[in-house]
Structure 1
Amino acid sequence: MTVAKQLKSRIRARMARTGERYSVARAQVLGTTAGGPVVDAGWTLRGGTDPDAAALAGVLAHRRVTGPDGPLTEPLLLVVGGGLGAGYILWEFAHDDSRIVVLGFSHSWQYYDRRLANTVDRLGLDVAWSRTGGAVGAAAALASTLAAGDPAIIWPDRFHLGYWNLPPFLDGHGGHPVVAYAVADGRVHVDDRNAAPLTVATADLDRARARVGSYKNAMLLVRSRDVVVPADRLRAAVRGGLMATVEQLGGTSTSFALPAWRKWSKLLIDPRAAKGWPTVFADRRGLLRALTGVWEAIEPAGMTGGHLRGVFADGLDEAAAVLDQPALSAEAQRWRAIADRWHDLAETALPVTVPAIGRVRELTATITGAVAEGDAAAGERAAAADELWALRAEHADAPALSEDEVRGVLAAMSGQLAAIVAAESAAVQCLGAVVAE
């Protein structure tokens, strides 16, 4: 038991330090001794990074839907779904004086269903979408699906799921897709990229599914089974996804394309703009929440999978084989270098050298790691969450940084973002040229 606790501590400490996803940190800590995936109620828990692509990859593997040369992996499905996007919004809410930073890193990130819809359509899969308005009907539909042995991709609110241990003021802030794959003893087994069994009380899951109006009780079922996606269909799907990445990132929107990063870079240091950070955070209230939100959104160690540039690079390597275009592997290296730039930005936003901020990172990684460890780690993540939200409340009115340090952080972030814009702009142009060949 002591050895197991020490191992968990090492994995979580690495997550806090590097921003890595649990599965990556675990593999680095264990090296070649890492064991295979856990099978729970006939479902294989494979982990993952991107909620959308990982959920679909798990369902397709379970239903034995493959490509001509093997499984349709999370990185390749990320590419097929449109790959990457960009997004920056700073929300200000008068009712509670909150300032919330929203970052988007995937194609069509502002739509809950767009990427998965594009993915299954491009692959030609037989699927069924449902949106049941009534809670009773929605609960019955999910129960019937699970009773038939079929997994379902659903969109629950994170607060009501319970296992993220979020505070009440985040009730109704939404969530990402997870897979419900079994039910027993009044609890639904869910795959949220966890490596061990994770369950939610049926009533809590029903409430979580009904909480957010824009995707209330949404459910996606894959009906295809024992299917090999034809080679020509897969090639067209991959090429279509790559073109979508080029079009999305290369667009002109200042909220949903690369200009969003350029706008953010300027607003970080502009004292005259109404949405400039020196203006919005002049009283320093909410600044720690904003900076923590930046770190959580960028790093894979957060709830939502992070910047996804590394996963996309892995997808480009697979796309190179599918399309027989080795040049895509060279582009993969370019996106891995960009992933490193995003990590550096996250490090600047939430500097681990400041004790209180370092502790925030440690506790955040502990919660994410404990979610990956499933029900067995419920007590640990609850304790970590209590400390985390108490610490964040303690520094809500002013971050654990001096005014000079804040100015230095924002100036450094601005410069790093400007460099990211230049790097991603060049990478998009190069990718577009390769795809057009």
Structure 2
Amino acid sequence: MARTGESYSTARRHVAGAPAPVAHGGYRLRGGTHPVSAALAGVLAHHGVRAAGAELSEAVLFGLAGGPGAGYILWEFERDGSRPVVLGFSAQWQYIDRAPLAALQRLGVPAAVERTGGAVTAARTLGAALDAGTPALVWPDRYVAGYWHLPAILDGMGGHPVVVHGRDGDRYRLDDRTLAPLTVPVGRFDAARARVGSYRNLMVVPRPEGDVPEEVLRGAVLEAIADCATRLGGTSTSFALPAWAKWARTVTDARAAKGWPRVFADGHGLAWALTSVWEGASPAGMTGGHLRDLTAAFLEEVEPLVGATAPAARAWRAAAAAWHEVAETALPVDVPEFARLRELTAAVQQAVVAEGDAGAGDAEAAAAELWALRAEVDAAPPLTTPERDDLFAGLADRLRAAHAAEKAAVGELAAIG
């Protein structure tokens, strides 16, 4: 995982084959890559939903939710001096619930959407859904939820959707792309749901009414592909492919307000930014990585249904390779401190995903070392000024290559249908 940037599930398959799904209280834990699409796949499979004779895979649901996205933000926080990078690799990444709702709407699957500011009402509504045997998608704050063992500076910084699929006494049963049982105390999790004001206590409960007809699935796939091509092919420098070109320019632009040579002139915060680029683009992070391989898998799986998707799938595989090079350049493994950051990030994910509750101690220990080392190298990055400038130049080149690969891939998407 640390060397290749693969997710735990993928890396494990290379060594030991695909793990058998584990049932936790009647809900099947299947792992996954992207929080939204993995959650949808788990819930719809729990309800026995099938389309074209098979369960809806994570890859297909990723495509139906809008597929890949584009977005880049370099934050500068005065409160702690951190300068993290946020990357938007999935559709509608800037809006919390639009992607899962888009997938469900395209499939014709009804869903209840609950938004309440009251903790008591939110807990009661979630409990009612669980009592009815309907797992729910919820959006807890990662820091407050606790099992990723994040530092306090990330309190209130948000999180991704997870599935709550049951309750054992004073603990909720969760699925966060996990392969082993994972639970969180009810009080802590209720607080995590309420932590972020913009989507406090948001809950989406899919309530399918049967299988999805093949003609509905085909129409949904074609609509999602066309929407993705239009969205990514737009002119926005924040939410379309031009975001990558803008980022590539600022990495070496010393005059721009957000130019990296200017922002990181004193070196402070650079390691955080570089690590967040690697985490954001790598499946070893918490949000699934660049997701270009998942896009290709979607296109490969739907070819029997809509035809002529192979050229687009190959183009997105090429884009995936380009983003892998971006991640490798941002946090080079030949720098010992950076290599250790990668190892510790992978260790935390392995403990959470593979072991769930049983890995809590390992996750906590790895996370403690990880965040201590991040703080250390963030204050004094292990790069000389010439090394830093060379890294910036290399990163800009890799970003331009990724941008070019995605332009070609979007062109192939636009040709489908």
What pairs with 1:28-427 in structure 2 (closer than 5 Å)?
28-31=14-17, 34-225=18-209, 227-323=210-306, 325=307, 327-372=308-353, 373-427=355-409
* Alpha-carbon separation, structure 2, partners of 1:339 and 1:246: 17
* Alpha-carbon separation, structure 1, partners of 2:213 and 2:66: 19
Q: Which runs of 5+ in 2 are unaligned?
A: none
User: Structure 1, residues 279-328: CA drift from partner, whole Å, max 9, x if none?
Assistant: 000011000000000000000110000110000100001121121x1x20
* Alpha-carbon separation, structure 1, partners of 2:380 and 2:253: 20
Percent of aligned positions with the same letter in both sequences?
55
- Let me know the Cα RMSD of the aligned residues: 1.0
The alpha carbon displacement at 1:96 in A equals: 2.9
* Alpha-carbon separation, structure 2, partners of 1:270 and 1:294: 18
Query: Quick one: which amino acid aligns to residue 354 of structure 1?
Result: V
Partner of 1:375, secondary structure, is helix
Query: Quick one: which amino acid aligns to residue 63 of structure 2?
Result: V
* Alpha-carbon separation, structure 2, partners of 1:172 and 1:349: 27
CA contact (8 A) 1:154 1:179 kept: yes
* Alpha-carbon separation, structure 2, partners of 1:35 and 1:86: 32
Query: Quick one: which amino acid aligns to residue 70 of structure 1?
Result: A
User: Structure 1, residues 313-371: CA drift from partner, whole Å, max 9, x if none?
Assistant: 00001121121x1x202321221121011111101100111111111110010001111
CA contact (8 A) 2:164 2:174 kept: yes
The alpha carbon displacement at 1:257 in A equals: 0.5
Partner of 1:217, secondary structure, is coil
* Alpha-carbon separation, structure 1, partners of 2:143 and 2:226: 36
CA contact (8 A) 1:83 1:244 kept: no
Query: Quick one: which amino acid aligns to residue 424 of structure 1?
Result: E
Query: Quick one: which amino acid aligns to residue 401 of structure 1?
Result: L
Partner of 1:181, secondary structure, is strand
Partner of 2:257, secondary structure, is coil
Partner of 1:85, secondary structure, is coil
Q: Find runs of 4+ consecutive structure 1 residues off by over 4 angstroms.
A: none
Query: Quick one: which amino acid aligns to residue 42 of structure 1?
Result: G
* Alpha-carbon separation, structure 1, partners of 2:112 and 2:132: 15
Match of 1:12 in 2: none
* Alpha-carbon separation, structure 2, partners of 1:96 and 1:198: 32
The alpha carbon displacement at 1:149 in A equals: 2.1
User: Structure 1, residues 237-259: CA drift from partner, whole Å, max 9, x if none?
Assistant: 00111011101110111111100
* Alpha-carbon separation, structure 2, partners of 1:150 and 1:69: 23
What pairs with 1:8-19 in structure 2 (closer than 5 Å)?
15-19=1-5
TM-score, reference length from structure 2: 0.98
Match of 2:7 in 1: 21
CA contact (8 A) 2:311 2:412 kept: no
CA contact (8 A) 2:193 2:201 kept: yes
TM-score, reference length from structure 1: 0.94
Q: Which runs of 5+ in 1 are unaligned?
A: 1-14
Query: Quick one: which amino acid aligns to residue 404 of structure 1?
Result: P
* Alpha-carbon separation, structure 1, partners of 2:377 and 2:300: 43
Query: Quick one: which amino acid aligns to residue 239 of structure 1?
Result: L
* Alpha-carbon separation, structure 1, partners of 2:63 and 2:356: 29
* Alpha-carbon separation, structure 2, partners of 1:163 and 1:419: 36
User: Structure 1, residues 206-226: CA drift from partner, whole Å, max 9, x if none?
Assistant: 00000011111011111114x
The alpha carbon displacement at 1:22 in A equals: 0.9
* Alpha-carbon separation, structure 2, partners of 1:236 and 1:344: 35
The alpha carbon displacement at 1:133 in A equals: 1.3
